[in-house]
């Protein structure tokens, strides 16, 4: 045997041991097939969070690419995975495109529970045409909170998902905000599932889609031309 040669068995191809499964959308999106992914173990795959876009769900409007949807694998049976809605958020590029010099950005965060017991953290945002004072910002936050507190407890999970991702909730908040100031955009920019009726504890896993500290555009970022206005006030 040549000097320096090594003995060893054949390297096992781990990909040959993987099982491929079809991941379906949550019931709010009619459980359409979304992804075809490999898994090593069914039990380890449960709880995995997968990122898609709203366009992947609906295949309707190209602008739906600007909304990210996060689904979490719930059950796997016969090569098919069912999922639950874990949350959504604006794409970072879309959020940055909304920022304008000389205007105000108003953020509001609070927690709300659906009629069937799903607790969500909901982050809303509004952009004015021109700078507005602190009093008007407070009025807008209060208007958004009042609408969400009145609406969400009367919605099932599926109804909630549709309203926050397809624009109904945002349109209604816009109507309220326009009564206070000249507004060019209002939206539910992010939701995050905190607990379900079967899980009173936090449903976050190591596969969670974002951290709360990194979701915002930094007030010191060069991408933020109006830094003093981009301050997120949290009421959670």
Domain that holds residue 195: 90-229
Q: Within this chain, do residues 123 and 166 fall inside the same structural domain, yes or no? A: yes
pLDDT, averaged across the chain:
83
Q: Does residue 125 lie in a domain region?
A: yes
pLDDT tens digits for 183-200? Answer: 999 999 999 999 999 765
- Boundary of a domain, candidates 89, 110, 129: 89
Q: Within this chain, do residues 107 and 183 fall inside the same structural domain, yes or no? A: yes
Contacts by 110-115 with C-beta closer than 8 Å and gap 24+? 110/145, 110/148, 110/235, 110/236, 111/194, 111/236, 112/148, 112/149, 112/152, 112/153, 113/152, 113/153, 114/152, 114/153, 114/155, 114/156, 114/157, 114/159, 114/160, 115/153, 115/154, 115/155, 115/156
Q: Within this chain, do residues 123 and 186 fall inside the same structural domain, yes or no? A: yes
pTM of the complete model? 0.78
pLDDT tier at 61, thresholds 50, 70, 90: confident
pLDDT at residue 214 greater than cutoff 60? no
User: In this structure, what are the phi and psi dihedrals at residue 42, rounded to the nearest 5 degrees?
Assistant: -60, -45
Chain-centroid distance of CA 53 in Å reads: 10
pLDDT at residue 57 greater than cutoff 70? yes
pLDDT tens digits for 15-29? Answer: 677 889 999 999 999
8 versus 210: the higher-pLDDT residue is 8
236 versus 109: the higher-pLDDT residue is 109
pLDDT at residue 155 greater than cutoff 70? yes
Q: Within this chain, do residues 158 and 56 fall inside the same structural domain, yes or no? A: no
Helix and strand numbers, DSSP H then E, in the chain? 6, 8
pLDDT at 2: 53
201 versus 171: the higher-pLDDT residue is 171
Q: Within this chain, do residues 71 and 105 fall inside the same structural domain, yes or no? A: no
How many distinct structural domains can be found in the chain? Answer: 2
């Amino acid at each position: 045997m040549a000097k320096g040669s090594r003995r060893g068995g054949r390297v096992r191809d781990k990909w040959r041991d993987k099982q491929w499964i079809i991941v379906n959308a949550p019931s709010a999106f009619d459980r359409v097939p979304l992804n075809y992914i490999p898994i090593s173990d069914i039990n380890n795959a449960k709880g995995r969070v997968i990122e898609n876009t709203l366009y992947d769900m609906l295949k309707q409007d190209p602008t739906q690419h600007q909304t990210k949807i996060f689904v979490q694998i719930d059950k796997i049976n016969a090569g098919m995975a069912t999922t639950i809605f874990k949350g959504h958020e604006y794409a970072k590029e879309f959020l940055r495109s909304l920022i304008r010099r000389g205007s105000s950005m108003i953020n509001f965060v609070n927690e709300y529970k659906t009629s069937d017991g799903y607790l969500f953290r909901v982050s809303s945002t509004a952009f004015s045409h021109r700078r507005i004072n602190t009093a008007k910002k407070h009025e807008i936050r209060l208007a958004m909170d009042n609408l969400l507190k009145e609406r969400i407890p009367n919605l099932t999970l599926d109804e909630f998902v549709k309203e926050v991702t397809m624009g109904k909730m945002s349109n209604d908040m816009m109507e309220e905000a326009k009564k206070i100031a000249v507004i060019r955009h209002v939206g539910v920019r992010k939701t995050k599932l905190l607990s379900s009726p079967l899980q009173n504890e936090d449903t976050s896993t190591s596969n969670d889609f974002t951290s709360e500290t990194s979701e915002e555009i930094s007030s010191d970022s060069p991408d933020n031309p109006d830094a003093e206005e981009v301050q997120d006030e949290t009421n959670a």
